[in-house]
Chains A and B, each alone.
Chain A
């Protein structure tokens, strides 16, 4: 490689890393300012103009938050709602996806495309109809009023994700198991699902995040504040006449920790899930 060529790749590297770090800084800034604020003492957080770097560092907000807010309850509710939504969505999606992947039947194409249209019907334009349904079925102000719509609106993604993956599993594996006397259920449970693990993880992650993050259903269908999840809890603090910014930001930081952990472990699956859900090669 010539000297000039070497310089050029060096320069290229600087340009790429420079650009990347600038973009990363831009995207990370909101996190930074949120986290930095939670470590400022009470008077400093309310200084004008804001200090970009905390002049004094304290963890007192994190010690106070447990007593002053219901953050633990909200996190517990978020877990409850998310896990139940995942369970319901998968129980419905797995058989449907498996059926479409393994059989050719009249109406399959219609089914799969209608499911795709459901994904377009965002919950908020349906909220009025859903409200009416929830009230008339007596589900208003129960966890189910949140779990059921969340499962419904994640079902399209789950069916498509699993359908696509099930199709790639060779049918010969099932046939040999059937010869060995395995039942249909055993085949699904012991052969197909373990092989479809990447798709399952993507589905679970997507559904979990959806249920964890959504404010709309909890805002509309749950009035009882002991049932609030994290977004609803944070929102209830905004609504207060004199917003307690310090507590609100601290709760926010605590509320995103489970997601950060999820992301750190499952990044690959999340990316695979996101991309295969939207763009088909």
Chain B
């Protein structure tokens, strides 16, 4: 500190100004440049998080500014309610089945795309498209496919003789969630496929060549080279898919709104229901805080995987 001051005093006036400009700028510029992003994220993300915590302690109707402090009452009500445990089960089921299907299908597509084939760029683009279109539109299309009278799913199942009379997947409490899973898998598989493809391309060819010389069959190569080499990529991709599926809103909301009889509702669908259908921001905030807890666990896992091996940023 004192040597800096010394240096400053030793300079002639002109270059003092110059020094101020360069040195001061150099030491503060990094902060000035990230400041807008920080302020923005603090006000649009961090503040609403705090606001959610605060709200969860209040009785706060959506349509009125009146707030009454109720302490942890919402949490107690939630933990004692039956619907909460039903939501946990339905959310777990939704995430597990959807992520599993996305991973398997994505891997299958990636392995096929990783071959030397003509028109690879075309295939890659074609497979990617479902990911890029609005989820609400995909959901509408799947509602149409599932339509009990006019949908093509029924037409195909009838044609194949698998069913004898039309079924309404989304209208039935025991199948509605799976109807939504199909749409979610359709949307989420392309991302998995592309990530897996990138991972596959980083596996050295000579591993396969050596295996081929040893006479390893396709399945053995997949089992003993591809899967182990792809392990970390699969881990990251499934974790991301888990987070995204957990918070997926547009698809379920457009297809079923969580119905019939709450059978396809997940935790986040319920947050929305409580807040904007039932008009209770306070209780919805308490559900959100529970949602944060889950996300925090995922986030810690993700950061662990992401920064593993002491990588420098």
Contacts and interface: CB of A to CB of B under 8 A. Distances in A.
Interface of A: 16-17, 19-20, 23-24, 27-28, 30-31, 33-34, 37, 45-52, 91-93, 95-96, 98-100, 102-103, 105, 108-109, 111-118, 120-133, 148-149, 151-153, 155, 159, 184, 209, 212-216, 219-220, 230-232, 234-235, 238, 245, 248-249, 252, 255-256, 259-260, 262-264, 267, 270-271, 274-275, 278-281
B299 A92 contact: no
Given A126-B45, A238-B254, A279-B199, 15 more contacts: A24-B123, A30-B142, A50-B147, A50-B152, A99-B30, A102-B30, A108-B313, A125-B271, A125-B295, A129-B50, A131-B275, A235-B136, A256-B133, A271-B198, A279-B237
B116 to A, nearest CB: 9
A121 B42 CA distance: 13
A96 B135 CA distance: 30
Among A99, A120, A184, A230, the one with the most B-chain Cβ atoms within 10 Å of its Cβ is: A120
Contacts of B126: 24, 27-28
Contact of B313 (A95, A98, A112, A249): A112
Given A52-B156, A124-B272, A92 B141 contact: no
B145 A33 contact: yes
B40 A49 contact: no
A111 B138 CA distance: 36
Given A95-B37, A99-B30, A279-B195, A126 B52 contact: yes
Interface string B193-231: 011001100100000000000000000000000000000
Contact of B150 (A47, A234, A275): A47
A99 B133 contact: no
A214 B133 CA distance: 10
A124 B237 contact: no
Interface string B132-149: 111111101111110101
Interface of B: 29-31, 33-34, 36-38, 40-41, 43-45, 47-52, 55, 62, 105, 108-109, 112-113, 115, 117, 121, 123-130, 132-138, 140-145, 147, 149-152, 154-156, 158-159, 166, 186, 189-191, 194-195, 198-199, 202, 233, 236-237, 240, 243-244, 246-247, 249-250, 253-254, 268, 271-272, 275-276, 281, 284-285, 288, 291-292, 295, 298-299, 302-303, 306-307, 311, 313
Contact of B41 (A51, A152, A184): A152
Q: Is the interface of A mostly helix, strand, loop or mixed?
A: helix
A92 B41 CA distance: 10
A95 B34 contact: yes
A128 B284 contact: yes
Contacts of A128: 52, 55, 271, 275, 281, 284-285, 288
Nearest to B125: A267
User: What 8 A-B pairs have minimum CB-CB distances, sorted nearest first?
Assistant: A129-B48, A122-B247, A99-B33, A129-B52, A231-B136, A152-B44, A96-B37, A120-B299
Given A263-B128, A274-B194, A121 B49 contact: yes
Given A125-B268, A128-B52, A259-B132, A27 B30 contact: no
Nearest to B292: A125
B107 to A, nearest CB: 11
B108 A23 contact: yes
Given A212-B134, A238-B254, A252-B137, A96 B36 contact: yes
A117 B299 contact: yes
Contacts of A112: 313
Contacts of A213: 132-136
A33 B108 CA distance: 24
B140 A27 contact: no
Contacts of A118: 41, 45
B117 A126 contact: no
A124 B137 contact: no
A24 B186 CA distance: 12
